[in-house]
Amino acid sequence: MSSLFILQIIPPGLAEDASSHLSQTLTVLAAYLVVLGVISYLARSRYTGEFSDYVTASRSLGWVVTTLTILATIWSGVALAGFPGSVYALGAPFMTSVILGLCTSAPLIWFFGRRIWILGQEHDFITPGDLLGGYYQSDTVRVYTVIASLVFNLAYTVAQLLAGGILLNVLSAGAISFDGGMVIIAVVVLVHVTTTGIRGIAWLDTFNGTLILVILAVFSVYIIRSAGGMIHVFTGLGRLQTLHTSLPGTSGIFTPLQTLVFGAVFVSGTAVVSPAVWVRMYAIRKKEELFRVSVAFLVLMTLIHVFGTYFIGTYARVVFPDIENPDFVSSLLAFDLMPFGVAALFLVAVLAAIISTTDSYLHVLAVTVVRDLVRAVFMPEMKKARELNLNYLVITLAAGLSVVLALLYPGFITPLAVVAGGLTIQLFPLLFGAVVWPRASTEAAIIAPLGGVFTLVGVRLNLFSDPFSSPMLPGIVASLCVNFFLFVLISYFTRPQPLERIEAFHGVIRKNL
């Protein structure tokens, strides 16, 4: 769900303001880093140093922690700053589309999450590749999950580092260089993840998620107070109010169908089959808690998007009607309306979201590469202690590679990240077959995603037109439709999995639901 279109989230002039209030910004930043250190220390004391604890926290996460870790993971820092910018530019329909996507995500998290959890418990699965590769008995399918994880997590990690580098540069009033800021974030994340495992990530996410919720609530109070009442946030738009507050929005692209389908496909896809969220399904303590996770996730996200993100983007349009880069609006408005210290805290909340996304994505990237490529293909007899050490090595390499990519190819990452989201969604039909539809065949699982990816890349490269004409993310809906169509068609012309395999998956799910 991260907004990745533009990575410059803070106006350059803000650094000058920061330098005139340096003691306040550094105090806020230092306070956050102290909390991060304390959480890291506490999580370290619970960390057993065993592989299962590193990957799934020994399957012991409660529903509050799981909800907030999912929220903080998929809600990146770039999105926290960038979504108000999209509201500023596109109006209320953008927010409606995202929230409708969250609405469809919540029952899907509940529906697929329980099935993933059951199979994880029964077969000791810890990655998407364990489940899909296991059901379809195919290393090709398993490697699909590795490719999706690698591209998705790497692209989004680089995007976060780029945004984080700018942020630290501004918060330190230029004392920390842009490059240095990226390295600092990568090192902090690396130390935190390798010394605490997913429990540390989840605990930090819980704090970060809470910080984001609180600061957005405070922000909305300042907005309503400044406008002189909630109604004036919208009437202040003047002649723009009609276009900005209703479909099809200021750009005219949000028809009712477009609004519904874009949200449902993209947000659901990235929220449900994103590797980081998938691994959290294994880590939750009881499957019954997924109900609370789904409800809390939906309620919190709806409230903060309506009263936080939407209000920020709309009121920024009232206060700053002509802004060069809409992604600046949240930070500009924060410093315009709130005391300097609180506004600095908003920037620290963006940094917190960046750290939460980065730690989760690097963690799951290493886990999937080691488990589903190195172990499954090259070293099937690898001991768990060695697998853990290999995870430490791979995550270190991935963090280093992310910094290098951010330094060398910052412009290339944005389009790659948009395609990466579309790639991950192609795993959806495969998951559907493995936990819902026993008629699914391995031939379908191998061929159909290729059809989806071909369609996605073809539309992105303008080799053919997008039949669904989805301006927000061209090709995503079409590629998923092609994938599902091929998946069902090929399955009907080929044979399903052996009966014992169907029993080990669909039978176990049915017995334990």
Partner 1 sequence: MWKEGWRQAERPDASEIPEPYALWPGGTDRLVVVYFVAVILVSYLGLRFLGTRSVLVGGLPVLMLVTMIISLLFVVGLWLLAYRSRGGGQPRP
Binding site for partner 1 (CB under 8 A): 92-93, 95-96, 99-100, 102-104, 106-107, 110-111, 114, 136-140, 229-231, 234-235, 241-243, 245-248, 256-257, 259-260, 288, 291, 294-295, 298-299, 302, 306, 310, 376-378, 380, 436-439, 441-442, 492, 495-499, 501-502, 506-507, 510, 513
- Which residues lie across from 61 on neighbouring strands? 284
Distance in angstroms (rounded) separating the CA atoms of residues 294 and 304: 16
Taking the complex as a whole, the smallest distance from the CB of residue 257 to partner 1 amounts, in Å, to: 7
Give 225 or 510: the residue with its C-beta nearer to partner 1.
510
Q: What is the DSSP letter of 59?
A: G
CA–CA gap between residue 60 and residue 68 (Å, rounded): 15
43 residue type, one letter: A
Measured distance CA(186)–CA(406) in Å, rounded: 11
Nearer to partner 1, 115 or 192 (CB): 115
Nearest approach, Cβ of residue 118 and partner 1 (Å): 12
Query: Is 86 in contact with 328 (CB distance < 8 Å)?
Result: no
Q: Residue 324 or residue 381: which is nearer to partner 1 going by CB?
A: 381
Closest to partner 1 by CB, 72 or 304: 304
Q: How far is the CB of 482 from partner 1 (least distance, A)?
A: 20
256 Cβ neighbours under 8 A, 6+ residues apart: 247
Query: 152 or 468: whose CB is closer to partner 1?
Result: 468
Q: Distance between CA 361 and CA 5 in Å, rounded?
A: 19
**Closest of 146, 190, 138 to residue 374, by C-alpha:** 146
Tell the smallest beta-carbon distance from residue 233 to partner 1 (Å). 8
> What is the torsion angle, in degrees rounded to the nearest 10, for the CA atoms of residue 295, residue 297, residue 298 and residue 302?
140
Closest distance to partner 1 from the beta carbon of 368 (Å): 17
Tokens in use for 359? Answer: 């730690």
CB of 245 to partner 1, least distance (A): 4
Minimum CB distance to partner 1 smaller for 189 or for 301? 301
What's the number of CA atoms in the CB half-sphere (13 Å) around residue 320? 22
Indicate the residue among 8 and 241 with the shorter CB distance to partner 1.
Answer: 241
User: In sequence order, what are the residues at sequence separation of 6 or more whose Cβ sits closer than 8 angstroms to the Cβ of residue 418?
Assistant: 4, 5, 473
Nearer to partner 1, 88 or 203 (CB): 88
User: Could you identify the residue written with the tokens 């270190």?
Assistant: 396
The residues, any chain, with a CB within 8 Å of residue 500's CB and separated by 6 or more, are none
Q: Which two tokens stand for residue 193?
A: 């993840």
Report the Cα 477 to chain-centroid distance in Å. 19
Q: Which residue, 504, 462, 221, is CA-closest to 338? A: 221
Q: Which of 199/317 has CB closer to partner 1?
A: 317
Measured distance CA(175)–CA(197) in Å, rounded: 31
Q: How far is the CB of 232 from partner 1 (least distance, A)?
A: 9
Closest approach, Cβ 281 to partner 1, in A, equals 16
Residue at 288: amino acid letter: E
| Nearest distance in Å: CB 395, partner 1 | 25
Q: Are 69 and 209 in contact (CB under 8 A)?
A: yes
CB of 494 to partner 1, least distance (A): 8
Nearer to partner 1, 27 or 137 (CB): 137
